[in-house]
Amino acid sequence: MIRKALKKVSKNKKLQQFIKKYHISPEYLSTNRRMVSNAVFVGLFIAMIPMPMQMAAVITMMPLLKFNVPIALAMCWLTNPFTMPPLYYIEYLTGSFFLGTKIEEVEISMEWFTNNIDNIFIPLYVGTAFYSVVVSIGGYLLVNYLWERSVRADRQKHRKHR
């Protein structure tokens, strides 16, 4: 279902004109299984990292990896101002658990954050590394599974109509 929708969008005449006008390599907008699953991997990996300008980080990955850039950018939007605080708190708790460190009493204020950045930095990024790897690999595998399942269902449907 999603696969067919992506194929329709990629054949849109306005999109094709945009690609020609700005000399965008079509491979960065390709909607095959490999490009979409790579995009989900890159986007989710970057989204889990607490840093500013996550979308710029995705763009800097373009020369290193081939992936569908709009989908990767959309995956970065999963971490937004509403989801960031709980996500980063969970990452901090996980990092503290892995390191066996004492969990600091957390307050949601810039003053508390600037005073305690030394205490929470290492546990936060240990938890971030864990969730970045696990979530991005999980997203990659899920997209591959759903894509292959969709292809099999289409083939079975086609066989029944023959």
Distance CA(21)–CA(74), nearest Å, equals 23
The position carrying tokens 């959309």 is 74
Calpha distance 6→34 (Å, rounded): 13
Give the per-residue pLDDT at 122.
Answer: 92
pLDDT tens-digit profile, the chain (162 residues): 565 666 666 666 776 676 677 666 767 777 788 999 999 999 999 999 988 889 999 989 988 888 988 899 999 888 888 888 889 889 999 999 999 988 778 777 778 878 888 888 899 999 999 999 999 999 999 999 999 998 888 888 878 876
Task: Show the beta-strand stretches assigned E in 1-157.
Answer: none
pTM listed for this prediction: 0.81
Closest C-alpha to 128, from 37, 46, 72: 46
Judge contact between 92 and 127, C-beta under 8 A.
yes
| 97: Cα within 13 Å, side-chain hemisphere | 9
